[in-house]
Structure formats: C-alpha cells, structure tokens
Amino acid sequence: MQTKQDIISELENIFNETTSFIEQVDDAIFNKNFDKKWNIAENIDHLSIAQNVTALSFNMPKIVLKQLFKTNNRINWNYDETIWKYQRTLSNGGKANFAFQPKVSIVRSKKLVLFFWKRSCTSVLNALQKWNEQDLDIYIIPHPLIGKITMREFLFFSVYHLKHHLKTIKNITEK
C-alpha cells in the first residue's frame, strides 16, 4: 500500500467495513461502557473527529500548508516506519488530546453518530482527489503525537488508526 490509489482503496474498504459492522450493532451495545474505556459510539465519534481533521488538512491550499509547516526535507517513511513511530509514542504514554475526544456520542444517538461518521468518510475521500502522488510526499502537517509527517504518512497513520479502532469495536461486541 504505497500509491495514492492503493491508500484510497484501503480507506474505502475500512470505511465500508466499519459502517456495515456498526449498522448491525445492537443499540444497547452501541453505548454500553466496558472497563472504563470508550464504548462503540465514542470510538466512532473519535474516528469521525480524526477524519474531519484529516479532510480539513487535505482541503487546505498547498501554499498555506507550505507557509505554515514548510515542506518535507527528509527521507519518506513507509507504512511500517510510520506505524512504528506512532506505536512508540503510544507505548510512552501518548493519548488522544482533548480535541480528539468523543463529543457527539454524548447524545447517545446511533443514527446521529453514524451520520457524522459517514459524512467524515466522504469528506476524506473527496479531499484526496485533489492530490497527486508527488505532492503527498512534499507537503507536511503536524500529527498530534508523532510530529510533522508527510501527507502520505498521515494517510498511512489513518489506515492504521481506523483498523485499530475497528478491531477495538469488534472486541467490544464480543464481551
């Protein structure tokens, strides 16, 4: 998974799998808390927030990204290197900051949480259409836990992050 199209295909698959899975989850389980961790609604809410920030970043004019964050001046990381850096930060105590904490799920409406989830998925996919392969490796944005990374590396993180939370959600339904 290196090319833009590979990443888009992977994102589409994860978005669809997550949506299908969530639509089948019983409402009683959707908001049920386990072990003082995020429930399914909160996991989806968190992912929606993260996806909206991703879409916002990819919708920013490239000249603004360059002005704010400069451009990449190092060797690009592949998927495994990006995820290793993220996991290392987590193992050192890194957690989602307040901006990425669940908010909409407080209302406990599965329909509303799913609406915002689907909208965030569409926003990311639409924003990616404006990018070419080369630009994904030139422009950088700050990741809240691992620092400045290229747009492609941010997409690698997004794929991993979505898969991680889908696995968490599936584990919740098995309890």
Query: Using CB atoms within 10 A of its CB, is residue 169 exposed (0-12), middle (13-18) or buried (19+)?
Result: buried
The pTM of this model reads 0.94
Q: Output the tens digit of pLDDT for each of the chain's 175 residues.
A: 799 999 999 999 999 999 999 999 998 899 988 888 899 999 999 999 999 999 999 999 999 999 999 999 999 999 999 999 999 999 999 888 878 888 866 667 899 999 999 999 999 999 999 999 999 999 999 999 999 999 999 999 999 999 999 999 999 998 7
Q: Which residues pair with 139 in a beta bridge?
A: 71
**b/e burial code for range 41-59 (CB count within 10 A of at least 16 → b):** bbbbbbbbbbbebbbebbe
Query: Using CB atoms within 10 A of its CB, is residue 73 exposed (0-12), middle (13-18) or buried (19+)?
Result: exposed
Give the pLDDT score at 77. Answer: 97
The CB density around residue 161, as the number of other CB atoms within 10 Å, is: 19
Contact assessment for residue 164 and residue 6, using Cβ atoms and an 8 Å cutoff: no
Give the pLDDT score at 94. Answer: 87
Taken in order of first residue, the domains within the chain and their CATH numbers are: 4-173 (1.20.120.450)
Give the pLDDT score at 50. Answer: 96
